[in-house]
Amino acid sequence: MYYVCSMDNIFFEGQVLWSQIDANGHLRHSAYADICTQARSNMMKVIGLSMERCLAAKVGPILFREETLYFKEVKMDEVVKVRVFLTKNDTVKSRFAIRHELLREDGTKCAQVLVEGAWMNLVERKLTVLSEDMQAYFDKIPKSDDYVQI
């Protein structure tokens, strides 16, 4: 399930599943990335850059780096929410950075996932800049307080 709360930039809300738990009884490390990837995909769809639109334009996002910072445990059956913010955008080199904040239902920040990426031409298989209309959609991503336009 997902929804958007424009005030809080929530793009995912869901229950932690048994299949996402590790041997220590808490959310496994790769599940954080999966949940945040879904939040990012939901956000892209909401702003108008769905995967269908990207594929039709023969362009897609790629990641160069992903980093997770863990603050609090997340356990099975807890409900988590993910906020998504654009932290950097370089329209000349078509590079970007996005921060995800994974929260418990009560608002406790449990983890932060940072990704750095760029746009790739899916035909030529090389980096590309977004077209003007695609960039207009991308500009709708909620910006962090420390957002930097390069």
76 and 34 in contact (C-beta within 8 Å)? no
In a domain, 106, yes or no: yes
pLDDT at 123: 98
Walking along the chain (150 residues) 10 residues at a time, the average pLDDT comes out as 66 95 96 96 93 96 98 97 96 93 96 98 96 94 95
In a domain, 4, yes or no: no
Q: Name the β-bridge partners of 14.
A: 80
CA dist 17 and 46 (Å) reads 25
In a domain, 17, yes or no: yes
142 and 85 in contact (C-beta within 8 Å)? yes
In a domain, 61, yes or no: yes
Tokens 């980096």 belong to residue: 127
In a domain, 2, yes or no: no
CA dist 134 and 130 (Å) reads 6
- Residue 100 CB partners (closer than 8 Å, separation 6+): 36, 39, 40, 82, 83, 84, 85, 112, 113, 114, 115
Total-model pTM: 0.93
In a domain, 135, yes or no: yes
In a domain, 98, yes or no: yes
In a domain, 51, yes or no: yes
State the CATH number of the domain containing residue 82: 3.10.129.10
- How far is the CA of 82 from the CAs of 8, 38, 121, in angstroms? 9, 9, 28
Domain total of the chain: 1
Collapsing DSSP to helix, strand or coil, 45 comes out as helix
Q: Which domain holds residue 40?
A: 10-149
pLDDT at 91: 86
